[in-house]
């Protein structure tokens, strides 16, 4: 099993896991002394470790191997208009699994949810969802989640190529996949910013503001998609177009869990 450590991993030696990580390892998964697990800290580093002791509220492990560096994640920024919390949480999970680098909730004219309705507890829950999705998917970083931004602020701050799937131009706008394959043909742009509207979509005046800011409307196909479906589909298409067959194998098993026979893992000697 893989676990995310919110604190930076030490270079070697013993490490004491506490809090939710220790609870899940010892109480939920019932791991015991001698079991192997994998730890990553969000910096791109991942290690193999063996459980030494399991005590009430803590699990002590010994780092035994350093995994080789992973390929860099695509620099995808998702600018998602706020939608109902249960749907937004599904979107967070799937966006993390698809490798998004950052998620920027935005406030647009037709949003049915306002930031003041969410509260600090919701933000903490969203952070846990992103961390658990990173654990499951095999990625070594956790997406950065910002406080909600107004759309006009987001449009000026968004890095790289700015794309905006818009349902009103789904029949006439260029397909997202075609647009991206053309953009990356001579080398990918420094980043990709994807704007997804709320239930009801972006208002026409918002589309015009986006065009003026350099955003390009694109199509996700002939059907009208829910906001969370549009975001998931757009990220999946973008990942395929961006990385294609150039992405080297990561050494992960199909279920996203790191394998102990991962090629290139460097055992830590007693002197290290």
Q: What are 29-51's pLDDT values in tens digits? A: 999 999 999 999 999 999 999 99
Q: Cβ(11)–Cβ(43) under 8 Å?
A: no
pLDDT of the residue at 265: 57
pTM reported for the whole predicted model: 0.85
Decide if 130 contacts 143 (C-beta within 8 A): yes
Q: Could you tell me if 158 and 88 lie in one domain? A: yes
Asked if 77 and 159 touch (Cβ cutoff 8 Å), the reply is yes
- Same domain? For 37 and 170 the reply is no
**Alpha-carbon span 26 to 20, nearest angstrom:** 10
Alpha-carbon distance of 165 to 175, in angstroms, equals 9
- Residue 158 burial by Cβ neighbours in a 10 Å radius (0-12, 13-18, 19+): buried
Q: Is the dihedral of CA 154, 43, 48, 131 positive or negative?
A: negative
On the question of pLDDT at 156 being above 80, the answer is yes
Cα(82)–Cα(229) distance, integer angstroms: 14
- 174 or 267, greater pLDDT: 174
Pair 176, 146 in one domain: yes
Give the model confidence (pLDDT) of 118-134 as tens digits: 776 688 899 999 999 99
Tell me the CATH number at 170.
Answer: 3.40.1280.10
Tally of domains within the chain: 2
Give the separation between CA 215 and CA 205, rounded to whole angstroms: 13
State whether 189 and 238 are in the same domain: yes
- The CATH number of the domain where 22 resides is what? 2.40.240.20
Is 272 part of any domain?
no
65 and 82, same domain (yes or no): no
Q: Is 222 helix (H, G, I), strand (E, B) or coil?
A: coil
- Give the pLDDT confidence of 221-258 residue by residue, as tens digits: 999 999 999 999 999 999 988 876 354 444 443 333 43
Range of the domain at 54: 2-70+249-267
What's the average model confidence in pLDDT over 66-95?
Answer: 93
Residue 96 to residue 74: CA distance in whole angstroms: 12
* Helix (H/G/I), strand (E/B), else coil: 144: strand
Mean pLDDT along residues 204-208: 95
Indicate whether 25 and 91 sit together in one domain. no
- Give me the helices (H) in 139-226, please: 151-157, 176-183, 204-212
* Mean per-residue pLDDT, 171-187: 87
């Amino acid at each position: 099993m893989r676990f995310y450590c919110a604190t930076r991993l030490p270079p070697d030696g013993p490490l004491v896991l506490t809090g939710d990580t220790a609870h899940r390892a010892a109480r939920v998964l019932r791991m015991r002394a001698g079991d192997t697990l994998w730890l990553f800290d969000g910096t791109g580093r991942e290690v193999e470790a063996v459980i030494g002791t399991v005590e009430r509220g803590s699990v002590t492990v010994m780092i035994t191997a350093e995994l080789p560096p992973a390929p860099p994640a695509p620099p995808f920024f998702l600018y998602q208009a706020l939608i109902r919390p249960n749907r937004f949480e599904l979107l967070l999970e799937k966006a993390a699994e698809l490798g998004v680098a950052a998620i920027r909730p935005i406030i647009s004219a037709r949003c049915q949810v306002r930031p003041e309705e969410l509260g600090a507890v919701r933000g903490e829950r969203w952070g846990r969802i992103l961390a658990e999705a990173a654990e499951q998917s095999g990625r070594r970083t956790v997406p950065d989640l910002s406080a909600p931004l107004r759309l006009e602020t987001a449009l000026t701050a968004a890095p790289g190529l700015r794309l905006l799937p818009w349902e009103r131009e789904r029949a006439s706008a260029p397909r997202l996949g075609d647009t991206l394959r053309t953009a990356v043909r001579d080398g990918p742009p420094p980043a990709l910013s994807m704007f997804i509207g709320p239930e009801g979509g972006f208002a026409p005046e918002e589309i015009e503001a986006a065009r003026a800011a350099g955003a390009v409307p694109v199509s996700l196909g002939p059907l009208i998609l829910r906001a969370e479906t549009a975001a998931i589909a757009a990220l999946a298409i973008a990942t395929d177009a961006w990385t294609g067959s150039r992405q080297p194998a990561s050494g992960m098993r199909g279920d996203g869990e790191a394998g102990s026979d991962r090629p290139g893992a460097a055992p830590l000697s007693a002197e290290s």
